[in-house]
Chains A and B, each alone.
Chain A
Amino acid sequence: MSQATDVAAEDRGQIESVSGPVVTAVDLDARMNDVVYVGDEGLMGEVIEIEGNVTTVQVYEETSGVGPGEPVVNTGEPLTVDLGPGMLDSIYDGVQRPLDVLEDKMGSPFLDRGVDAPGIDMEQTWEFEPAVEAGDVVEPSDIVGEVPETQTIDHKVMVPPDYEGGEVVAVEAGEFTVEETVVELDNGEEIQMHQEWPVREARPVSEKQTPTEPLISGQRILDGLFPLAKGGTAAIPGPFGSGKTVTQQSLAKFADADIVVYIGCGERGNEMTEVIEDFPELPDPQTGNPLMERTTLIANTSNMPVAARESCVYTGITIGEFYRDMGYDVALMADSTSRWAEAMREISSRLEEMPGEEGYPAYLAARLSQFYERAGYFENINGSEGSISVIGAVSPPGGDFSEPVTQNTLRIVKTFWALDSDLAERRHFPAINWNESYSLYKDQLDEWFEENVSEEWPERRQWAVDVLDEESELQEIVQLVGEDALPDDQRLTLEVARYIREGWLQQNAFIEVDQYCPPEKTFQMLGAIRKFNEEAFEALEAGVPVDEITSIDAAPKLNRIATTPDDEVEAHVEELKDDIETQLRELY
């Protein structure tokens, strides 16, 4: 936020009342959603209601000690973010104040009040390489040059979308700060690297397209059974302790996106610290550079002010849209959208609005869908293509998926990864329930998998799904009569399903070789289990008892393929298949 630096034509009012994060002011000339500074300490807030002479403001900072009569100053501008080079490798709070800068300014590990800082460093210089020359005609959103933002990402400098555009009259390469003009147009418009954009408004695009490429996550159950598309939306609901955050973090680490925006919305401080400590150390699987070079973190922990929690998802997606405009694939993780919804509820109830279901405001569904609609695979105005994939964690109270946030989210998103506390209790991770989860992108992504991994991808996936389905039906019978009462072929199916669950679906985020599984390995591992399935059923038909089939030496190895390094897996699987074949055929 840079409003602090340029409050010009100011309108002043006085505080009338204070109740937690909600403050009312009188005699303030303001529009809806204007940013205001509240009280003697200048706490940042946003106008959320106007009634006659009384303006209601939600304040993004703690309001202890603030009293009536203190001034309220209007900036006349809505809540905006500073866009430009320097956003990657940064850690922000919910209103894009860089937390490391705040630490220096406050001189304390605790977050004080009334301190503001711009979202990007205004002094730092960047090496600008023009992509246009004098005489070229540029239109809004066109790329006029680039700066190396990090080792991984070249930051494209664009004509702001609200400019008119025209002929370039001056352009220069060299070192510039983000506020210096790098390109001048004939109509007098000057282009800087720094842009501002109101967070609650989507940046314009040319067209939204149907996504056809998967966002490879390196998680077998996701890529293999419930894939997400680049530009798609996914929800991960689950009770506490079921692994939402671990899944989100795995995606942030391994998803094959160019840019990752990770929003810790109302979650734990220590978890954010883990991300802050880990990401600069971990290598990006695509480039080998540190992960932070492609990442922006937004950390608004649960004890930070509730109003800033409400705004943090918008701050995050606006930053994401800016990189999408440059033609990058962006993955945005919001952990957790329930905390965002609760922030809406809290503010709504302080406003004494009529509550909807479970006390949530009636506009909950509308806000959720507006947010998720900002995801997609887009053709940008400047002709490039980029995407934003949104993955939202949901924390349903008591793990009950019928509550309003889960239900309203499911109406919008197309991929649903249901976390399951039973699986989590037996430490089956990722604890994603394969019977309840779904992905509506499955069919439109098949073509990509057929081309890039194997022709047999869809068919092999369907085989796994069928076995798992059959298992869950058989389990109902087993619950009643015990496994020994089943006929042999069904007992064998249960064994095969067990290899699929324990050897394939289970994945250990804490073992280095297993935390990221390329789609080829996902495919080969399942192939080994399927080979066992075929050979085993042949042996069974030849009269070999199930117990003998499952006790061959090669069988337990099916559960350990995951720990084979990626480059050895193909040979290993072939060898294992041969062993299975020989050992089973020896039995008859």
Chain B
Amino acid sequence: MKEYKTITEISGPLVFAEVDESIGYDEMVEIETADGETLRGQVLESADDLVAIQVFEGTSGIDRNASVRFTGETLKMPVTEDLLGRVLDGSGNPIDGGPDIVPDERHDIVGEAINPVSREYPEEFIQTGVSAIDGMNTLVRGQKLPIFSASGLPHSELALQIARQATVPEEDEAGEESEFAVVFGAMGITQEEANEFMADFERTGALERSVVFMNLADDPAVERTVTPRMALTTAEYLAFEKGYHVLTILTDMTNYCEALREIGAAREEVPGRRGYPGYMYTDLAQLYERAGRIDGREGSVTQIPILTMPGEDDTHPIPDLTGYITEGQIVMDRDLDSKGMEPPVNVLPSLSRLMDDGIGEGLTREDHGDLKDQLFAAYAEGEDLRDLVNIVGREALSETDNKYLDFADRFESEFVDQGFRTNRDIDETLDIGWELISLLPKTELNRIGEDLIEEYYVEDAGVDGDAGSEEAPADD
């Protein structure tokens, strides 16, 4: 391995060095500083005589006499089943004081695209025990479903609740023991948040089936671009080679994108929207698309990335590009949060694209699809009417409209607000849905098949609810 002492320029996270051999794009680099510290980096651009290197740990301490070694290979993640139960830093080194990792294999962290022909379409329902998700925006195995949140909202609690409760009811019934694992990739979260996650993992015993990658807020920003790739490489290995069903939680994607922007700016690239690099869509896709199932392989990778929307604006490039790649989103809402709802999920802008193939007879229940459509339509109607009530008052509204308003209130308080410790199975979720939708007269239920109304409609649901409007023109 040749060593160079030819650094010509140091700028932000970048180091430029002159070379006299061919250096591969993306190759790993080690830089030794004058005081003997070894820093790691990656080749960002390789020309005949000059390479640009991005240094993960930051460039402080590097001077022009530092020596640069090219390892001749791209960044690899050492993988083994023994990673389960371990806590690693953002570059994959153990920080839990445990033994060194003896890898079975070393995998390239960039990952290769799954051939669309080799994929298996995800349609196995995952029961998270959260009504707002199971009932309205169902998660399936192999899906990538982000949580769109904002600073100060309890997205971590929701993610932990999902990690704690997720099961596949079909398999439980069949008595099949599915190998379930969690890969947790933290990027730029605070020590306190990290402690919360760790405490919950330890308390519930989830840690022994988890691999945790921690890049904290004070760790180098550039390292954040590597952390999710390390995590996903591990997830793919566990899923497609060891047969685990892996739930991958990545938090917080916003910090990851900030790191991309920082590198882009240091390289003096032409910036795209809001200063983020023009290739951010491609870059994010290379992370998010590493979810799925493969034909003939046992395991699956399901992704729940978390991102905090700057200014709660879902047109900001980070949530926007994410939404175009992922298969839906779960949206957290500050108004619902201040009402004290747990989880404060706003189901209307939330969406699960893979839902329709994962629900229904034989998967969840025959009435699920129709009921969900009707709940959405009714809640949207109720929401619209709330604006109107503010202007004209409830008296000016028709009787049916008042029922919609009652429905919307009770939908929030009974269906969505279940608490972070309640685990509802799908039947329970759907039964609550029927109880609520039956507040409306049958004639309003135009999204539900007549036979299903016949079977599930709760006849006297409206009566105990509001005493004001009983006895319509029925008896004359």
* B258 CB–A CB distance under 8 Å: no
Cα A168 to Cα B397 in complex, Å, equals: 82
* A481 CB–B CB distance under 8 Å: yes
Cα A271 to Cα B271 in complex, Å, equals: 30
Cα A106 to Cα B288 in complex, Å, equals: 23
Q: Which of B121, B143, B320 contacts A277 (CB 8 A)?
A: B121
Docked-complex contact A270 and B292, CB < 8 angstroms: yes
Q: Which of A18, A65, A239, A346 contacts B278 (CB 8 A)?
A: A346
Check A484/B281 contact, CB under 8 A, given A17-B45, A91-B117, A110-B114: no
Chain A 14-42: CB-based contact to B (< 8 A → 1; otherwise 0): 01111110000000000000000000000
Interface stretch, picked from B97-105, B197-205, B369-377, is: B369-377
Cα A359 to Cα B272 in complex, Å, equals: 6
Q: Give the shortest distance, in Å, between B117 (CB) and chain A (any CB).
A: 4
Cα A478 to Cα B354 in complex, Å, equals: 36
Docked-complex contact B396 and A482, CB < 8 angstroms: yes
* B471 CB–A CB distance under 8 Å: no
* B57 CB–A CB distance under 8 Å: no
Q: Which of B26, B120, B377, B398 contacts A426 (CB 8 A)?
A: B377
* A483 CB–B CB distance under 8 Å: yes
Chain B residues 199-242 with CB under 8 Å of chain A are 240
Q: From B446, which residue of chain A is reached at the shortest CB distance?
A: A559
* A367 CB–B CB distance under 8 Å: no
Docked-complex contact A425 and B294, CB < 8 angstroms: no
Docked-complex contact A67 and B22, CB < 8 angstroms: yes
Q: From B325, which residue of chain A is reached at the shortest CB distance?
A: A302
Contacting residues, chain A, for B73 (C-beta < 8 A) = 65
Q: From B391, which residue of chain A is reached at the shortest CB distance?
A: A480
Chain B 118-139: CB-based contact to A (< 8 A → 1; otherwise 0): 1111100000000000000000
* A69 CB–B CB distance under 8 Å: yes
Chain A 166-191: CB-based contact to B (< 8 A → 1; otherwise 0): 00000000000000000000000000
Chain A 455-470: CB-based contact to B (< 8 A → 1; otherwise 0): 0000000000000000
Q: Binding site of B, secondary structure by majority: helix, strand, loop or mixed?
A: mixed
Chain B residues 381-423 with CB under 8 Å of chain A are 381, 387-388, 391-392, 396-398, 401
* B78 CB–A CB distance under 8 Å: no
* B456 CB–A CB distance under 8 Å: no
Q: Give the shortest distance, in Å, between B416 (CB) and chain A (any CB).
A: 15
* B142 CB–A CB distance under 8 Å: yes
Docked-complex contact A100 and B279, CB < 8 angstroms: no
Q: Give the shortest distance, in Å, between B384 (CB) and chain A (any CB).
A: 9
Q: From A110, which residue of chain B is reached at the shortest CB distance?
A: B112
Docked-complex contact A103 and B115, CB < 8 angstroms: yes
* B61 CB–A CB distance under 8 Å: no
Residue from the set B47, B142, B447 with the largest chain A CB neighbour count within 10 Å: B47
Docked-complex contact A68 and B46, CB < 8 angstroms: yes
Cα A277 to Cα B111 in complex, Å, equals: 24
Contacting residues, chain B, for A271 (C-beta < 8 A) = 353
Q: Which of A19, A302, A421, A426 contacts B376 (CB 8 A)?
A: A426
- 4 shortest A-B CB distances, which residue pairs? A398-B315, A302-B285, A109-B118, A17-B47
- 13 additional contacts, CB 8 Å, given A241-B351, A274-B121? A18-B24, A18-B45, A19-B44, A19-B46, A62-B112, A64-B108, A65-B74, A67-B25, A91-B116, A111-B112, A111-B114, A269-B113, A397-B273
Query: What are 7 contact pairs spanning A and B, CB under 8 A?
Result: A18-B47, A65-B74, A241-B323, A274-B121, A397-B315, A425-B348, A425-B349
Binding site for A on B (CB under 8 A): 21-27, 44-48, 73-74, 108, 110-122, 142-143, 240, 269-273, 278-279, 281-282, 285-286, 288-290, 292, 294-295, 297, 314-317, 320-321, 323-325, 327-329, 348-349, 351, 353-354, 356-357, 369, 372-373, 376-377, 380-381, 387-388, 391-392, 396-398, 401, 443, 446-447, 449-450
